[in-house]
Structure 1
Amino acid sequence: MLQLTEAGRPQPPALRIGFWLMDTFDLYTLANALEPLRLANQLAGRTVCQWQMLSLDGRQLNASNGIATATARLDLAQPLDVLILCDGDNLHHPDLDRQLRHWAAQPIGLGALGKAGWLLAQIGALNGFRCSLPEPAPSLTFAAFSELTPVAAPFCVDRQRLTCVGPQAVQGLMHELLARTHGRGLILRMEKHAARQARPLLPTQNAPAKLQATLALMNEHLSQTLGIDELAETLGISRRHLERLFKCSLGCSPSRHYLDLRLQRARQLLRAAEQPLPAVARECGFVSLQHFFRCYRQYFGAHPRDHVGAVPIAESQRALMLKAPASSRASPLPH
């Protein structure tokens, strides 16, 4: 059983997700599901989730916009924790119903994106589970699904079933799945990252002179940190004025930005693996090693030692995915 991330407990293993594609699948919906997973790996600095593109035949499939995607055969998939159905226009494969029933009986999470949820409903895989489903197709009679428990929400995770109403709700579904396996701290960091990315770029040369000077001072004093009052006094402005500069230009407080700089520097040093943990903490302005561990874990979702000598995720993710043990048994989604 996958465990929630909690302080003092070992990190849970990577969440293994399979996306079961149908011909002419919606690429926009799939991209909305994959981006949170990619970002989670990037911000965690390690592989917290892995994914596979699967189909019944293992052939190359064309998305609804014509873009081709390679897939592996569903019956030859690497071990999975969650299998998510992404439907298309052609739902008449002769083996589809049997395969759906087979996977619904497995001890793993089974989900569907958008109208694919009705395929699960038709075989009874959603009976007794809360679910989020879009309006049924005209050929379906909602009254025939008397055992469904639909909820008025864009997505729903109920025990081993995951459903959502459409492409805009997929991101929330992925966030909930990640939160249940790796903790909500990771999701908070992902949301903060997205908010920072959505801010317009502030060219340094056009930034207020006082802000530029503050940023330079912070970068020059990562080990011997300066207090916010000391920064303001050095620049000849009030603390309140300095805080307004940061809030308007960077969307955060001076102390928050200063801490971010120190933690990012710490991860660079840890990856270089040239100094022990106490030395890294001192070089990044942390007097207490425990305080460093706590701040680092809150920011990156991992203990500093997890990043010692770590290869950036962009370089290592594919290799790690290929090392998944073929004999390991799939784990059920947590309640």
Structure 2
Amino acid sequence: MFGALPSKLPQQIAFLLVPNFSMIAFTSAVEPLRLANRVSGRELYRWHLFSPDGQPVNASNGINLTPEGAVDQITNYQTVVLCSGIDGHLFDDKAVFAALRRSDRQGADIGALCTGSHILARANMLNGYRCTIHWENLASFSENFPEIETTSELFEIDRNRFTCSGGTAALDMMLNMISQQHGHELAAAVSEQFIHERIRDRHDHQRMALTARLGVRHPKLIQVIQLMEANLEEPLSRSQLADAAGLSSRQMERLFSKYLHRSPARYYVELRLNRARLLLLQTNMSVIDIALACGFVSASHFSKCYRDFFGKTPRRERATPSALRDAELLAMEGVIN
């Protein structure tokens, strides 16, 4: 089981990096191991890097890492960590799937960071296991793999499988592992080295609270937005939203105008369109199925709303290369010119 004390030290850990892996998730998983060795004065962990073909592999930030070998060289490791990132849902490499299943037969704990859960699922490595994935991928993962129990936890450990939502959640997952294996005192000392004020457990939220995300603290407004987020497939009417929050429709309109500078109807449509975009890019669902899943009555109405908001039709969005798509979104948000 992941987190159990290994039979011998140092614990051998293989990191399998696939193209466009998340650098922050990878380093957040590796650095606690390095510091655990340093703080304890013992080599508790030893790690090795692999890529599908043994060639250098680019992270999503463009930094290139040179591995020690190819995936077929991962043999007899106690732990195998699959590191993925952008477009992990598109990764399809039979050699990687075979190597993961071989490590499983050899008794390794198998896990994934960020979007790596998509890859484990495609390799049939999550059947009968509970898992998590980055919040941005939760909806699409559930659509692609409805038979797999998926949660929104920070990380999940289910027997010899472990999955992590990505980002700095990998740091907390590894700190929990260190605590279980070598004691809380060592884990706390490692956490303090990172100026990480507390070790989060798996039940901590992936996303910031709405008040922090929006910069708004009005409880009635937050209540309405929570209702919107919970009812994207079958949108609630304006009166239903207002009644549930104990507001009149006019009071609700004024709150949205004052704090969010848009109408409740517009805000609700934007929430549904952003969910639709994730499904469009991360699943093979048809445009009409995505439209219905996000509360639009027809594909034509959905396409018009989508084009008005994102500047392109859903079909063109799906055909746009991911690198260009990300640059366009940054430009829309005013991050770059």
TM-score normalised by structure 1 residue count: 0.50
Distance 1:188 1:125, change over 3 A: same
Pairing partner for 1:37 from 15, 22, 33: 33
Pairing partner for 2:15 from 19, 39, 48: 19
Letter of the structure 2 residue corresponding to residue 170 of structure 1: A
Q: Write the mapping of 1:127-146 to structure 2, written as runs, cut at 5 A.
A: 127-135=127-135, 137=137, 140=140, 142-143=142-143, 145-146=145-146
Q: Secondary structure in 2 aligned to 1:125? A: coil
Q: Write the mapping of 1:132-281 to structure 2, written as runs, cut at 5 A.
A: 132-135=132-135, 137=137, 140=140, 142-143=142-143, 145-195=145-195
Letter of the structure 2 residue corresponding to residue 49 of structure 1: Y
For each residue in 1:138-175, what CA deviation from the matched residue of structure 2 results, as whole angstroms up to 9, or x when unmatched?
99462553442333420112211110112121101111
Q: Contact conserved, 2:80 with 2:108, CA < 8 A, in 1? A: yes
Distance 1:130 1:92, change over 3 A: closer
Aligned-pair CA distance for 1:85? 0.6
Q: Write the mapping of 1:62-141 to structure 2, written as runs, cut at 5 A.
A: 62-71=58-67, 72-77=69-74, 79-88=76-85, 89=87, 91-135=91-135, 137=137, 140=140
Letter of the structure 2 residue corresponding to residue 115 of structure 1: T
Letter of the structure 2 residue corresponding to residue 26 of structure 1: S
Letter of the structure 1 residue corresponding to residue 14 of structure 2: G
What's the counterpart of residue 247 of structure 1? none
Letter of the structure 2 residue corresponding to residue 73 of structure 1: A
Q: Contact conserved, 2:130 with 2:150, CA < 8 A, in 1? A: yes
Q: Contact conserved, 1:130 with 1:156, CA < 8 A, in 2? A: yes
* CA distance in structure 1 between the partners assigned to 2:138 and 2:109 by the alignment: 29
Question: Structure 1 regions of 5+ residues with no counterpart?
Answer: 199-335
Letter of the structure 2 residue corresponding to residue 110 of structure 1: I
Identity of aligned residues (%): 30
Q: Does 1:55 align with 2:77?
A: no
107-116 or 27-36, which deviates more: 27-36
Q: Contact conserved, 1:15 with 1:181, CA < 8 A, in 2? A: no
Q: Secondary structure in 1 aligned to 2:115? A: helix
* CA distance in structure 2 between the partners assigned to 1:196 and 1:168 by the alignment: 10
For each residue in 1:33-66, what CA deviation from the matched residue of structure 2 results, as whole angstroms up to 9, or x when unmatched?
1111111111011111010111121111122222
Letter of the structure 1 residue corresponding to residue 182 of structure 2: H
Q: Contact conserved, 1:130 with 1:148, CA < 8 A, in 2? A: yes
89-98 or 29-38, which deviates more: 89-98
Higher Rg of the two aligned structures: 1
Distance 1:169 1:137, change over 3 A: closer
Letter of the structure 1 residue corresponding to residue 98 of structure 2: R
Distance 1:105 1:43, change over 3 A: same
72-81 or 88-97, which deviates more: 88-97
Letter of the structure 2 residue corresponding to residue 75 of structure 1: D
* CA distance in structure 1 between the partners assigned to 2:188 and 2:139 by the alignment: 41
Q: Contact conserved, 1:115 with 1:136, CA < 8 A, in 2? A: no
Q: Secondary structure in 2 aligned to 1:157? A: strand
- Point out which structure has higher relative CO (alpha carbons under 8 A, 6+ apart): 1
* CA distance in structure 2 between the partners assigned to 1:111 and 1:3 by the alignment: 12
* CA distance in structure 1 between the partners assigned to 2:156 and 2:39 by the alignment: 25
Distance 1:155 1:3, change over 3 A: closer
Give the superposed CA RMSD: 3.3
Letter of the structure 1 residue corresponding to residue 157 of structure 2: V
* CA distance in structure 2 between the partners assigned to 1:3 and 1:126 by the alignment: 18
Q: Contact conserved, 2:132 with 2:163, CA < 8 A, in 1? A: yes
* CA distance in structure 2 between the partners assigned to 1:196 and 1:165 by the alignment: 18
Distance 1:197 1:96, change over 3 A: closer
Distance 1:3 1:152, change over 3 A: closer
Q: Contact conserved, 2:74 with 2:99, CA < 8 A, in 1? A: no
Q: Contact conserved, 1:3 with 1:12, CA < 8 A, in 2? A: no
Q: Contact conserved, 1:111 with 1:161, CA < 8 A, in 2? A: yes
Q: How many residues align?
A: 194
What's the counterpart of residue 287 of structure 1? none
Q: Contact conserved, 2:2 with 2:177, CA < 8 A, in 1? A: no
* CA distance in structure 2 between the partners assigned to 1:3 and 1:139 by the alignment: 28
